[in-house]
Amino acid sequence: MVKTPKASPAQQPPAPSPKAQPPVDDTPPLDFPIVGIGCSAGGLEALERFLTNVPAGCGFAFVIVQHLDPTHLSALPDLLQRFTSMPVTEIEDGLRLQPDSVYVIPPNKDLSLLHGKLHLLEPVATRGLRLPIDFFLRTLAEDLKEKAIGVILSGMGSDGVFGLRAIKEKTGLTLAQDPASAKADSMPHSAIQAGVVDIVAPPEALPGRIADYLRHPAHAQLFEINPRVAILTALDKIVILLRDRCGNDFSLYKTNTLNRRIERRMAVNQIAGIDDYVRYLRDNEHELDILFKELLIGVTNFFRDAEAWEYLRHEAIPALLAQHPDGKSLRAWVAACSTGEEAYSLAIVFKEAIAEARPERRFTLQIYATDLDTDAIEQARKGFYPDNIAADVSAERLARHFTHEESGGYRINKDIREMVVFAPQNIISDPPFTKLDILTCRNLLIYFGAQLQRKLLPLFYYAINPGGMLFLGSAESIGNAAGLFAPLTKKGRLFRRLNQPLPLTALEFPRKLPSETSETGRPAQTERPDNLGQLTDQLIQQTWAPAAVVVNGDGDILYFSGRTGKYLEPAAGKTNINIHAMAREGLREALTGVIRNALNNPLPILINGLRVGTNGGTQIVDLVVQALDKPEPLRGRVIIVFKDVRKPPSRRKSGKHAEDEPNSTLLQELRQAREALQVTHEEMQTSVEELKSSNEELQSTNEELQSTNEELTTSKEELQSLNEELQTVNAELQSKLDDLTWVRNDMTNLLNSTEIATIFLDSAMNLRRFTTHATKLFKLISGDVGRPLSHIVTDLDYPKLKDDALEVLNTLIFHETVTATHDGRWYRVRIMPYRTQDNVIDGVVITFIDITEIKLLEAKLRTQGA
């Protein structure tokens, strides 16, 4: 392994002055690419295919982060050194990166990068869920910005997704191994599914794609040559193509933002000129969709800028609640919510703030979360996130507000999910939500031009109630709208809406074409004659027929007929179209239990003389409630018909009649109230008994399931960690086995090439192994291994062979002699102890060297001498 030399004393920075000024890092910035590589199970093979195809002298530095067993030394640097001529180094703390080098993370460490130096950190947890790849790639993105390059290879889990997302946010390059070529496809598949990968290819193709990207002229100086003259026209064309394809106008985005994103796509597609890229976009709608996603920059995570969220929880929200009475329903809008992390973060923080401040106060928060990306909205609605969110969400919050699923990942709990309504919206052209108490628009304004910011901030002011809050990103400010908002924190991320008059001329409300005009501005054509009958029926129904509604057995309204506004009104808060919630005063009590009675009684139920409150007055109404049996689609439904009753003309009556009339009315209302109360009481008694029984069973089941779930979650995390460690150990053992196979092949060829017959015996003088040339002296076959040597037929005239071998085994002194064969051949026999690497004697080794020619030469010389 190659170790980076430490700086000599002459290279050390000078000692600080007596004024104790902080040391200044004057290390020059790195001028070569750094590639961060993350892998896990099956990563050794992928790394071999990757490194063997790195171009010689590429000038890159490769930093490899693999899931390793924290309790064992890693042989990964030695294994990787066989695949590349570049030096492979196990990282030490403070190591400065060098080009044309490979660096490997040591076991049981987290790795970070700062100013070109690698720093090792102790992991928070030795076992369980750890995300070392995400941790390093995030620091790589922060340190190198658009020069960061991240690669995800074979591995289990979803580690690396958030790291690639951070690199993509900084306009760096992200790559992943093709899942079809990976032994474990979970990590690359998760990254691709998250939409954070620019290039997908087999491992052997990735180094070439990186080199092509960095050599491309679009990556170097595409937008530096007179951008206003040479590129502005082409940029306008791209904006027009995007508007025609996606229906969204990016002309008011910052030019630098558009330039960087277009530059990345040109480099990825290896297109040199922007005019060529315009032609490519016109011929490739899929590339338009990818560019649209790039421009949306959907990068977010839970509790981003944790300090701001803590202030919101402990200071801002309690102060907001103090301004409102108990039971107040608050409204919030999360603009540009992406995949929903910030919307759910707001819901969690609001719940925690209420529980921490005054739990007895009942507040509700309705959150409207919107984004331009419909795919991101669909993902947000699912409320499902990978295990990686454990890096941003505390264990306490994960246990309280999330449910860990067996397939891996966390799902947001139902109580948090029901607080958020997701919808696609274009914040530039669609009307805003209004009467808001909280509005968050984080890390969106930084991509908008000044003109668009001047348009949106007054709209935000208009949408927020006086005293409400505006929550912006860490790099955003209110600019020229300082007279509309006051900062709540020194860093200026949270603002309070002031109560200042705002002229309507400062607002630019989004406009839609009126429904009665066509796209050309001409009035819509009149209805065709064949619709005349239908229109007439509708007119009669809406004007002269009594108002009515059709409901199901639970009272949910399925259809309105006529004008029902005098009898029904929308309830405050979350949308609810149940008739018991919408009925006006005087109807609500009378309708209690009537729907159920109607379903059990085929005859219509008449309720007369109800006094219904309407707009400050009262109206006498008769009700007809009847279950529907025909037609078949309406079976099981109930129709409720409202009939207005004219008040009788007022006449002067005698005192007795004048007193009896209100008494009779009161008695009728009292009778109706008693009947409704009796029905309600009976229903409640039955429901309470059923609920008690169900609640006891559910509590018992819930406790058992909760206990089982906790055990399974713990076991799964341990098994997953153990599995990854075993995968790594298995890969190293497989590599060692391959080495042993090659060593055995080498030894076999060596022994055969010496033409020396050799046999190996164990301590019991049984045959352990033999070479090919030994078969010329002994009648040996492969099945003789394990048999005593004395049982093997031999051509040697050496009856004391076994005795000499036992003597060597006992005395540990080698023995050498010369013996002949029955056919006249001569051999020098050497018997030596068999020593293991642990210096243990475990048998003998006998070699037979053919000296026949030497003996014949000796005999010939004797004859000549005689």
Q: Give the residue-averaged pLDDT of 9-13.
A: 37
Query: Would you state the pLDDT for residue 665?
Result: 61
In this structure, the dihedral spanned by the alpha carbons of residues 177, 181, 186 and 187, taken in order and rounded to 10 degrees, is -20
> What tokens does 378 get?
């669909």
Spatial distance between the Cα atoms of 805 and 794, rounded to a whole number of angstroms: 16
Predicted confidence (pLDDT) at residue 504 exceeds the cutoff of 80: no
pLDDT averaged over every residue in the chain? 80
Q: Mind listing the pLDDT tens digit for each residue in 390-417?
A: 888 888 999 999 998 877 788 999 999 9
Query: Would you state the pLDDT for residue 391?
Result: 82
Q: Give the residue-averaged pLDDT of 645-652.
A: 62
- How distant, in Å, are the alpha carbons of 216, 454, 753 from that of 826? 74, 106, 20
Q: Give the residue-averaged pLDDT of 736-751.
A: 83
Spatial distance between the Cα atoms of 15 and 12, rounded to a whole number of angstroms: 9
Q: Give the residue-averaged pLDDT of 710-731.
A: 78
Query: Would you state the pLDDT for residue 493?
Result: 81
Query: Would you state the pLDDT for residue 563?
Result: 81
Confidence of residue 501 (pLDDT cuts 50, 70, 90): low
Q: Which residues are CB-contacts of 646 (< 8 A; sequence separation ≥ 6)?
A: 620
Query: Would you state the pLDDT for residue 261?
Result: 81
Query: At 837, is the secondary structure helix, strand, or coil?
Result: coil
Asked about 189 being catalytic, the answer comes back as no
Predicted confidence (pLDDT) at residue 779 exceeds the cutoff of 60: yes
Spatial distance between the Cα atoms of 34 and 264, rounded to a whole number of angstroms: 17
Asked about 305 being catalytic, the answer comes back as no
Q: Between residues 4 and 211, which one has the greater pLDDT?
A: 211
Query: Would you state the pLDDT for residue 51?
Result: 92
Q: Mind listing the pLDDT tens digit for each residue in 254-264?
A: 777 787 788 87
Predicted confidence (pLDDT) at residue 664 exceeds the cutoff of 60: yes
Confidence of residue 225 (pLDDT cuts 50, 70, 90): very low
Q: Between residues 688 and 805, which one has the greater pLDDT?
A: 805
Q: Mind listing the pLDDT tens digit for each residue in 808-862?
A: 989 989 899 999 998 889 999 999 999 887 788 889 999 999 898 888 888 888 8
Asked about 67 being catalytic, the answer comes back as yes
Query: Would you state the pLDDT for residue 348?
Result: 93
Confidence of residue 462 (pLDDT cuts 50, 70, 90): confident
Q: Between residues 443 and 203, which one has the greater pLDDT?
A: 203
Query: Would you state the pLDDT for residue 449?
Result: 81
> What tokens does 323 get?
């301004």
Catalytic site residue from 40, 338, 477, 735: 40
Give the distance from CA 755 to its chain's centroid. 64
Catalytic site residue from 159, 185, 371, 437: 159
Query: Would you state the pLDDT for residue 648?
Result: 60
Q: Give the residue-averaged pLDDT of 754-767.
A: 89
Q: Are 416 and 443 in contact (CB under 8 A)?
A: no
Predicted confidence (pLDDT) at residue 33 exceeds the cutoff of 60: yes
Q: pLDDT exceeding 90 applies to what percent of the chain?
A: 15
Query: Would you state the pLDDT for residue 755?
Result: 80
Query: Would you state the pLDDT for residue 518?
Result: 34
Query: Would you state the pLDDT for residue 29?
Result: 63
Confidence of residue 22 (pLDDT cuts 50, 70, 90): very low
Query: Would you state the pLDDT for residue 397?
Result: 92
Query: Would you state the pLDDT for residue 39?
Result: 92
